[in-house]
Structure 1
Amino acid sequence: MKVVISVWGRFHAFNLAQQLQKRGHLQQLISTYPSFAITKYGIDSQLIHSIWHLELLCRSWQRLPVRLRGDRNLQLWFAEQFDRSVTNYLSPGFDLFVGWSGFNFRSLQKAKEIGAKTVIERGSSHMLYQTEILKAEYERWGLKFTATHPGIYEREIESYGEADRIAVPSLFVKRTFLQQGITENKLIHVPYGTSLSEFYPVPKEDTIFRVIHCGALSLRKGVQYLLQAFSELNLPDAELWLVGSIAPEIKPFLAKYHSDRILYKGTHPQNRLRWFYSQCSVFCLASIEEGLAMVQAQAMACGLPVVHTTNTGGDDIVRDGMDGFCIPIRDVEALKEKILFFYDRSDRRNEMGRNALERARKSLSWDDYGEKIVRAYLETF
């Protein structure tokens, strides 16, 4: 089996390519990242086709002030230019085309014309579900939701029907596709892994109880609920660490719940995150919607129990009551209850942290992911 991967940016495509290369299945990796950035993942440079100029143009456009970006038509233009470049590059000699939803549509059709089978990777919930739940969340707070560009939305939905299979990372995402009439036999369900060489426990330097959120600080990530829960608990000798970029819509919440116990730690490279995880006691992710947040497995690999919502994909990797807890979205009282549980029960906190670490080491590596996804490809085709 020879596989061509096409991805705008990175996502988990480089980890997938690494696993396919290790097993002799990688024919080509097409990305907008420059080759030198991709080879850091151990990918053979001869297997890389970089369309780096599109990444450069897109990032330059994104740095412009909002008033100069126009009506976002350039988002569609970038997607179409990438898709066209991939389409022109494809030639016979491969068996399976794996493309990212929204960015591979014509190229997916070209792969089918060549005679290859096709898989679309969708890392989040079904586009219709995602749009509806995020729109509702923004309206809940009196804010305008900036939806996906209509052209990209249309390409996304059409690619679901065009592809032979759709790869999804969690039961949560799978359910959103089944609800939209996608048949189960069209879905490949394999949870992502994590890098055990990058994420492992390092010594905690004090005894302060800390809750950590790692990822963007946004409404989508449910940070507004975590801030409220932690603030209302008002626990002595406890801190909330927020690691990640700040979206404009979350700034009023940071101001509202401002406290010397709520600490913004900024953004950091991935190889630095293990220290932040290890200085904390429990990981909390209150997301409204996402496919499978990789930070959950990262935290587990650093020995933290995980509190997550039903819409994070955490059900696939966190055993409820063993490695952490699953709670409903938007449930501040449930967040408070679970944070307080870990605050009051250091014995259970340590036990569940050990369980999470063991689970990560036994079944959540990228090698585990590689075995499962390759088996799924071979069984499907």
Structure 2
Amino acid sequence: MRKKKYIITTAGKFHHFDVARVIEKKNQLSKIISGYPWFKLKKENIAKKFVEAQGIYRILREPIIRNLRFKKINNILNILSAKNLDNITAKIIEKNKDIDVFIGQSQCGLKSGLKMKENNKIFICERTSTHIEFQNNILEEEYNNLGLKYNKIDNWYINREKEEYSESDIILVPSKFVKSTFEKKYQTKIKVLEFGVNTQNFFRDYKIKKSDKYFDILYLANKSVRKGLHYVLEAFKKFQHPNKRLHIVGADTSDKIFFRDKISEDNMLIYGHIDHLNLNKIINLCHVYVLPSIEDGFATTILQVASAGCPVIVTENTGSSDFVKNSNCGYVISIRSVDEILQKFVYLHENRDVLDELSLNGQNYLKENNWETYFNKLDEMVNEYNVN
């Protein structure tokens, strides 16, 4: 059987370049199209001839992306970017009849997907978060609970995604939780494929000793309501420990003002942009990682920290509950539960032997759960679809 040729379209980098590297090595990559400029992509170790960098809209958005005063302008630029990526991808597909599979990040691939279907080829719509309407509703509920104004997802994105869901041959999602947020009519076309991890970048470094004096807690995500940072801060405040430290690694968002007075630098370490080498060092310093997301598809950071031997505390809505339970590398808690987070902090601090056990479990489980394994499963899925 001839190996399938793949084309991928993504708004940024995300996990798509990890996957594309594997596909390139197997000589199955036709092109990856990204909404990032080349200078943001050249370190991804993919030959430039396989990368179509369309970053002009991202460059224009960069000064305003986290400022709600420019939300309308940001939306317009983002929509133009999605349409541009789609148009360019469709043209590439038109010129290259040997392309067998198109993986389009949701919002970026409607026209391209329809072009693939015209050619009797496979259109995969990849949705890494929950169904866009579920996402919109649960986030609106959370902002209302906090007394904050919620900026609803623009109808263009909702209508666009729903059309992609409908037209695609396969809807690719990273977790059963994401699948559960879709309507019944889509269940048969939804395929769940758990993300991989780069174990060369994220690993337990035994030269880095975790502190016996301090209890170090890691939050690794955007500083946002969606990721549940406010629940981490409240639980940390209630955690009675004389030498507790909270390491916050992540970019500011439009929620910056909400968090401004909640983050104290006395026993909190705030980091800016960090490359994977230094990030792995920080993970190795910490005793536990917490991500109490309100809504998430499957945060890849959960796999990264577990691979580096840091036990995890995550909500059922992070999409990673099956991974955490199967690997026994941490705990799955309810959303919006400060008490459950606090209980886990106390228990793990008092039971360091449990921390060691959870740490080893995560490392061992993820040894074979890399991006090559991910692609092999994807390729098998595609071949099975094609046969049927």
Q: TM-score, normalised by structure 2?
A: 0.90
Contact 1:20/1:374, CA 8 A, preserved across alignment = no
Give the 3 Å change call, closer, same or farther, for CA 68–124 of structure 1 in structure 2. Answer: closer
Q: 2: distance between equivalents of 1:33 and 1:135?
A: 29
Question: Match of 1:371?
Answer: 376
- Aligned partner of 2:26 in structure 1 is 23
For 1:107, the aligned partner's letter is S
Deviations 1:10-67 (A, max 9, x none): 1211112122222332222222334565453332332223334343344366488835
Q: Give me the CA root mean square deviation.
A: 2.2
Q: 2:264 aligns to what?
A: 258
Residue aligning to 2:359: 353
| 1:215 and 2:226 aligned | no
Contact 2:93 2:99 in 1 (8 A): no
Cα shift at 1:149: 2.1
CA distance in 2, matches of 1:305, 1:26: 35
Q: Secondary structure at the match of 1:326?
A: strand
Structure 1's unaligned 5+ residue stretches are none
In the other structure, the counterpart of 2:245 is: 239
The corresponding residue for 1:165 is 170
1:11 and 2:14 matched: yes
Alpha-carbon separation, structure 2, partners of 1:71 and 1:41: 26
- Distance, in Å, in 2 between the alignment partners of 1:63 and 1:342 is 36
Distance 1:224 1:153, change over 3 A: same
Q: Is the 8 A contact 2:233 2:262 kept in 1?
A: no
Counterpart pick for 1:194 among 183, 197, 204: 197
CA contact (8 A) 1:193 1:368 kept: yes
**Residues 89 and 320 of structure 1: CA distance in aligned 2, closer, same or farther (over 3 Å):** closer
Deviation at 1:205, TM superposition (A): 5.8
The 1:340–1:131 alpha-carbon spacing in structure 2 relative to 1, beyond 3 Å, is: same
The one-letter code matched in structure 2 to 1:163 is S
How far apart are residue 323 of structure 1 and its match? 0.9
Contact 1:210 1:280 in 2 (8 A): yes
Matches within 5 A, 1:1-381: 1-35=4-38, 37-59=40-62, 62=65, 66-67=69-70, 70=73, 72-91=75-94, 92-177=97-182, 180-202=183-205, 203-204=208-209, 206-207=211-212, 208-249=214-255, 251-253=257-259, 255-256=261-262, 258=264, 260-319=266-325, 322-361=328-367, 363-381=368-386
Change (3 A) 1:291 1:264: same
Contact 2:327 2:362 in 1 (8 A): no
Counterpart residue type for residue 30 of structure 2 = Q
List per-residue Cα deviations over 1:184-226 (Å, max 9, x = no partner): 3201211111111111123126322111100111100111111
CA contact (8 A) 2:6 2:99 kept: yes
Q: Give the match's secondary structure for 2:62.
A: helix
In 1, distance between residues paired with 2:74 and 2:175?
33
Residue 160 of structure 1: how far off its partner (Å) = 0.3
Structure 2: any 5+ residue segments left out of the alignment? Answer: none
* Distance in 2 between residues matched to 1:280 and 1:377, nearest whole Å: 39
164-173 or 364-373, which deviates more: 364-373
Distance apart, 1:85 and its partner CA = 2.4
Contact 2:57-2:77 at 8 Å conserved across structures: no
Kindly provide the amino acid, as one letter, of the partner of residue 358 in structure 1. Answer: N
Instruction: Find the residue that maps to 2:362 and give its secondary structure.
Output: helix
SS of the aligned residue for 1:99 comes to strand
Name whichever of 62-71 and 250-259 sits farther off. 62-71
Q: State the alpha-carbon separation in 2 of the partners of residues 119 and 316 from structure 1.
A: 23
